[in-house]
């Protein structure tokens, strides 16, 4: 209680900040995007190599074509997973920011109401 009988600033309960490391999340997002871009470039290189191998024939060529097809599918799958992870990181950043804004608003409202109580105003009526 303050000297005036109201609630002091230190007595007002405040919600803590959201525990979220935005810088780390942004680093992870950048790394995912960079890895996806590198895989896309690798896939484009594989596509060029595959076009060069079309004239190659024989049992080793068949094996090479199967291998390239498998690697191309694996690359696409990895890029898709990285894109999903990037979107999940973006959603986590957005949720953390939204929650922090809500907490800040509630804390500001709580402190504002307590400051009104300190001067003797309750429900818009001077006490």
Is 44 a domain residue? yes
Quote the pLDDT of residue 9.
52
Residues 7 and 1 sit within 8 Å (Cβ to Cβ): yes
Determine the Cα angle at 104 with ends 100 and 110, to 5°: 145
The count of structural domains within the chain is 1
The domain of 70 spans 21-126
The alpha carbon of residue 49 and the mean position of all alpha carbons in its chain are separated, in whole angstroms, by 36
Q: Rounded distance, CA 90 to CA 122, Å?
A: 42
Is 113 a domain residue? yes
Q: Where are the alpha helices (DSSP H) in the chain?
A: 22-53, 59-118
Q: What is the mean pLDDT of the chain?
A: 83
- Single pTM value for the model: 0.69
Is 115 a domain residue? yes
Quote the pLDDT of residue 3.
47
pLDDT of 75 over the 80 cut: yes
Q: 116 CB contacts (<8 Å, ≥6 apart)?
A: 122
pLDDT of 40 over the 60 cut: yes
Quote the pLDDT of residue 45.
83
pLDDT of 20 over the 90 cut: yes
């Amino acid at each position: 209680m303050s000297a005036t009988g109201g609630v002091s600033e230190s007595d007002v309960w405040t919600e803590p900040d959201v525990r979220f490391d935005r810088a780390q999340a942004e680093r992870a997002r950048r790394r995912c995007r960079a890895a996806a871009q590198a895989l896309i470039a690798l896939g484009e290189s594989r596509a060029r190599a595959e076009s060069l191998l079309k004239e190659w024939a024989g049992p080793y060529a068949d094996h090479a074509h199967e291998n390239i097809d498998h690697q191309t599918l694996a690359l696409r799958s990895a890029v898709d997973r990285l894109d999903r992870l990037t979107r999940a990181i973006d959603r986590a950043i957005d949720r953390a920011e939204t929650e922090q804004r809500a907490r800040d608003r509630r804390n500001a409202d709580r402190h504002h109401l307590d400051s009104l109580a300190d001067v003797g105003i309750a429900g818009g009526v001077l006490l």
